[in-house]
Structure 1
Amino acid sequence: MTTSDSLACPCGLPAAYHACCGRWHRGPLHLRAPDAQALMRSRYSAYVLDEIDYLLQTWHPGTRPAALAPNEPGTKWLGLEVRRHDRQDADHETVEFVARVRVGGRASRLHETSRFVREEGRWLYVDGVMDA
């Protein structure tokens, strides 16, 4: 166990990182997020921790970018609020969230409603609509 494994999970749930999002980031390949909200929380934690490979692996290939840049120096993720998690059917869910971040001393918030799809038993981020 690394030092970061014993820290609180960045996603905001009351669990240690290794028992929360860390199990999705570094767990066995058969271990997958059980629903879109768990995947979204794990993706937020991946942004916080610069787990770029995980972000790309959990992004639907039809909308996935070729690459992602790591956090800029001075970036501090400040928290996540999940506002809504809706299931449209067994393989389609949406999650509305607000993520707060400070880059170079300037704080901002990302308010998005994200779409997720389950393919071959695995949840993937498709895309999102930024809300005001």
Structure 2
Amino acid sequence: MPDLSLCPCGLGDPYPDCCGRFHDGSDVPATAEALMRSRYSAFAVRDAAYLLRSWHPRTRPRRLEFDPEQRWLRLEILDTADGGLFDSQGTVEFRAHHRSGGRRGRLHERSRFARHEGRWVYVDGEIRQDGT
């Protein structure tokens, strides 16, 4: 389990005041980017329940399993389009750095988000090769 004095999403705030409040259900992300950051943090702290709750029901898997060796290290937001307070859809392109089995890696994805029942949810994503 990572040190949660600061939120894994990279904004520099304490975890309970940042993504922790989304994970515990006391607040909801107001933008697609905030949801993206909270989902990254949920992977870092292995909160499968939050990940499933924040996934669009049309594309949500039945369950999630985490790689016990994988540790999420850092999130970079590369681009956002729409996904604001008055939007119904948005995209966030990100690069998530991780370590697994002693090797470093990264996931580069352009994720699609939509409002469902008044809340932002993850729909799906396109994995990208760096530089594309």
TM-score normalised by L of structure 2: 0.89
1:11 Cα deviation (Å)? 0.4
CA–CA distance in 2 between the matches of 1:19 and 1:107? Answer: 29
Query: Which among 67, 70, 76 is matched to residue 71 of structure 2?
Result: 76
Give me the whole-angstrom Cα distance separating, in 1, the residues matched to 2:41 and 2:25.
15
1:11 aligns with 2:6: no
Deviates more, 1:51-60 or 1:85-94: 85-94
Q: Secondary structure at the match of 1:86?
A: strand
Q: Deviations over 1:78-114 (max 9, x none)?
A: 1000011110771000000000111111111100000
Alpha-carbon separation, structure 2, partners of 1:106 and 1:57: 30
Q: Give distance in 2, aligned partners of 1:82 and 1:112.
A: 10
- Correspondence for 2:19: 21
Runs of 4+ off more than 3 Å: none
| Matching of residues 1-132 of structure 1 within 5 Å | 7-28=5-26, 31-72=27-68, 74-87=69-82, 90-132=87-129
Structure 1: 5+ residue runs without aligned partners?
Answer: none
Q: Unpaired segments of 5 or more residues in structure 2?
A: none
- What count of residue pairs does the alignment treat as equivalent? 126
Cα displacement string for residues 63-86 of structure 1 (whole angstroms, at most 9, x for unaligned residues): 0011100231x3221100001111
**TM-score, length-normalised on structure 1?**
0.89
Q: Is the 8 A contact 1:113 1:129 kept in 2?
A: yes
